[in-house]
């Protein structure tokens, strides 16, 4: 019989032989796809029968809701169909002038325009797209290429903008390399305490789509967009999990709503230095715990409880991860801190020479049931202070590790001499973090 969790998780799997009662599958070719194109046929029939504008609007409302419920865009024909029909749509005042560009039309911004449906705000394009590979695409409007907001399955478009990056949407996500993980987009996730919305990208490793339909531990990463598009953490995870599949986990990459709020959402009170924004880190952690985590646990096969839940980040993302571990040990049982801004002061004044907040907490407060992974670069001649050339916050990181070990915490630590404070270095060390999440003994991970 299927494992119990498949009865409650939307992507838990499908019974391939419901009458037999014994065949269960959660593989990509069974579960990873857009909504069926038959929904468009049903819409066309409903529109032909509608006699008023209200009836047409109601039919479109039902269509859009059904697409979202049954896999998102694009709508695709069954793999056994004679013609590989695919449909895209956009609804609303921004729809006019939108086109679709992808490998299937050689990325032409004009070849596949969306056409208005009978005096409504729905615009649709329907084309044949060969089922030869994943078939990446983007929508185009006024010369701007962007991911389809109604599509769930995405992949980095491969361009490093040294800033926030961008994604392809995928027509046939089930045809991605089965030896690698995949990304599912959750757009516009509401943060109640912060009164904002942000995009979240969920990486599921190759074993997630395996015969056993496993439920896996889950780790939440800050700077979620840049973690995937400045340097591909998904690529690093693929390589590590290929060599150590027993370390596999679901990785949730949490983007910022906009970069200007980063300092506020990744720091915590008190705030006295006027150069810094008012700290909103507590509200951000409430978003992770109360808004995002329940949604992830309801949508993906993940194990629950602090022993199966981690939080990780780099620089200020490392700082807020450590803060999360101390503030919410009942939620996060593992903390990954890469080049963390552990110089952050206890008194709100950044002077780097007295009372770093997390170091004080590690040394003075009651021990909490959390394991830590800490890494950083350092000058090749040895670390003397955080802000020396190639310092990479090494001095405060070393003092933090010492404070943790002095209290008996489980700590995995890696010093990477000569490594800069950048995404390439963090990607290079990511396998050690991923290994440490699943293994309490640092020796297993070469630490």
pLDDT tens digit string along 195-234?
999 999 999 999 999 988 999 999 999 999 999 999 999 9
Q: Any idea how long the chain is?
A: 447
Can you tell me the distance from the alpha carbon of 84 to that of 76, in angstroms, rounded to the nearest whole number? 7
Q: Which of 177, 189, 102 is nearest to 138 (CA)?
A: 102
Q: What is residue 352's predicted lDDT score, i.e. its pLDDT?
A: 53
Where are the domains positioned within the chain?
A: 32-154, 179-445
On the 0-12 / 13-18 / 19+ scale of CB atoms within 10 A, 388 is middle
- pLDDT, tens digit, for every residue of 311-366? 999 999 999 999 999 999 999 999 999 999 999 887 766 565 556 899 999 999 99
Distance CA 81, CA 443 (A): 53
- Per CATH, the number for 32-154 is 2.60.40.10
Beta strands at 99-102 and 75-76: parallel, antiparallel or unpaired: unpaired
Measuring CA to CA, how many Å separate 306 from each of 122, 251, 313, 432? Answer: 44, 15, 17, 20
- Kindly give the parts of the chain with pLDDT less than 50: 1-23
**What's the sign of the alpha-carbon dihedral 275, 277, 278, 281?**
negative
- CA 180, CA 430: separation in Å to the nearest integer? 16
**Rounded to the nearest 5 degrees, what angle is found at the Cα of 127, between the Cα atoms of 126 and 130?**
145
pLDDT of residue 354: 57
Q: Which residues pair with 87 in a beta bridge?
A: 75, 126
Distance (Å, rounded) from C-alpha 114 to C-alpha 440?
Answer: 53
- The Cα–Cα gap between 72 and 141 comes to 20
Half-sphere exposure of 43 (CA within 13 A, CB side): 26
> Rounded to whole angstroms, how far apart are CA atoms 323 and 335?
9
pTM above 0.85, yes or no: yes
Joined together, the tokens standing for residue 121 give 């705000």
Give me the pLDDT at residue 23, please: 42
Burial code (b: 16+ CB inside 10 Å, e: under 16) for 284-316 equals bbbbbbeebbeebbeebbbbeebebbbbbbbbb
Only one residue has tokens 């506020």, namely 264
Could you give the CA distance from residue 10 to residue 152 in angstroms, rounded to a whole number?
A: 13
- Residue 202 phi/psi, 5-degree rounding, is -105, 115
- Which DSSP letter does residue 192 get? T
Helices (H) and strands (E) in the chain, counts: 12, 19
To which H or E segment does residue 325 belong?
helix 316-327
Q: Are 300 and 202 in contact (CB under 8 A)?
A: yes
DSSP summary character for residue 291: I
> Closest Cα partner for 266 from 311, 236, 303?
311
CB atoms within 10 A of CB 237: 23
SS3 86: strand
| Helix, strand, or coil (residue 422) | coil
Q: Report whether the peptide linkage leading into residue 191 is cis, meaning its omega lies within 30 degrees of zero.
A: no
- Which pLDDT value is given to residue 351? 60
pLDDT value at residue 69: 96
Is residue 435 within 8 Å of 242, Cβ to Cβ?
A: no
How far is 31 from 217, CA to CA, in rounded Å?
A: 20
Strands 115-116 and 122-128 turn out to be antiparallel
Residue 199's Cα: distance from chain center in Å?
8
Question: Crossing angle for the helix pair 357-364 and 316-327, nearest 10 degrees?
Answer: 30
Q: State the Cα–Cα distance between residues 403 and 95, nearest whole angstrom.
A: 56
Kindly calculate the radius of gyration of the chain based on its CA atoms and give it in whole angstroms.
24
CB 314 within 8 A of CB 223: yes
CATH of 179-445, one of 3.40.50.1820, 1.10.260.40, 3.40.720.10, 3.40.50.1970: 3.40.50.1820
């Amino acid at each position: 019989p299927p494992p119990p969790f498949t009865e409650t998780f939307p992507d838990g799997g499908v019974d391939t032989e419901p009458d037999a009662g014994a065949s269960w599958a959660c593989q990509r070719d069974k579960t990873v796809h857009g909504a069926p194109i038959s929904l468009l046929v049903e819409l066309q029939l409903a529109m032909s029968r509608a006699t008023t504008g209200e009836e047409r609007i109601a039919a479109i409302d039902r269509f859009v809701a059904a697409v979202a419920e049954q896999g998102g865009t694009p709508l695709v024909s069954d793999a056994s169909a004679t013609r590989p029909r695919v449909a895209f749509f956009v609804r609303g005042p921004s729809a006019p002038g939108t086109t679709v560009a992808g490998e299937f039309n050689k990325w032409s911004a004009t070849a596949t325009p969306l056409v208005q449906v009978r005096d409504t705000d729905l615009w649709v394009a329907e084309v044949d797209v060969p089922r030869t590979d994943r078939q990446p695409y983007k929508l185009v409007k006024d010369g701007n290429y962007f991911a389809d907001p109604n599509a769930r399955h995405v992949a980095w478009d491969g361009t490093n903008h040294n800033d926030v990056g961008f994604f392809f949407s995928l027509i046939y996500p089930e045809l991605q390399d089965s030896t690698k993980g995949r990304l599912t987009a959750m757009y516009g996730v509401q943060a109640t305490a912060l009164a904002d919305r942000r995009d979240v990208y969920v990486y599921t490793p190759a074993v997630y789509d395996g015969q056993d339909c496993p439920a896996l531990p889950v780790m939440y990463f800050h700077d979620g967009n840049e973690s995937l598009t400045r340097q591909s953490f998904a690529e690093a995870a693929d390589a590590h999990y290929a060599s150590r599949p027993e370390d596999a986990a679901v990785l949730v990459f949490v983007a910022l709503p906009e970069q200007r709020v980063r300092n506020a959402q990744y720091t915590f009170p008190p705030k006295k230095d006027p150069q810094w924004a008012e700290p909103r880190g507590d509200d951000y952690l409430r978003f992770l715990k109360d808004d995002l985590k329940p949604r992830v646990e309801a949508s993906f096969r993940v194990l629950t409880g602090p022993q199966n839940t981690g939080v990780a980040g780099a620089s200020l993302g490392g700082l807020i991860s450590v803060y999360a571990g101390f503030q919410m040990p009942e939620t996060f049982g593992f903390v990954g801190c890469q080049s963390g801004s552990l110089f952050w002061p206890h008194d709100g004044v950044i002077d780097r020479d007295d009372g770093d907040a997390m170091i004080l907490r590690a040394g003075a407060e009651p021990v909490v049931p959390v394991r830590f992974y800490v890494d950083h670069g350092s000058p090749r001649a040895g670390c003397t202070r955080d802000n020396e050339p190639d310092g990479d916050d090494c001095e405060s990181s070393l003092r933090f590790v010492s404070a943790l070990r002095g209290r008996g915490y489980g700590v995995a630590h890696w010093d990477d001499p000569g490594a800069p404070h950048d995404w390439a270095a963090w990607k290079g060390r990511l396998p050690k973090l991923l290994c440490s999440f699943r293994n309490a003994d640092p020796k297993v991970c070469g630490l």
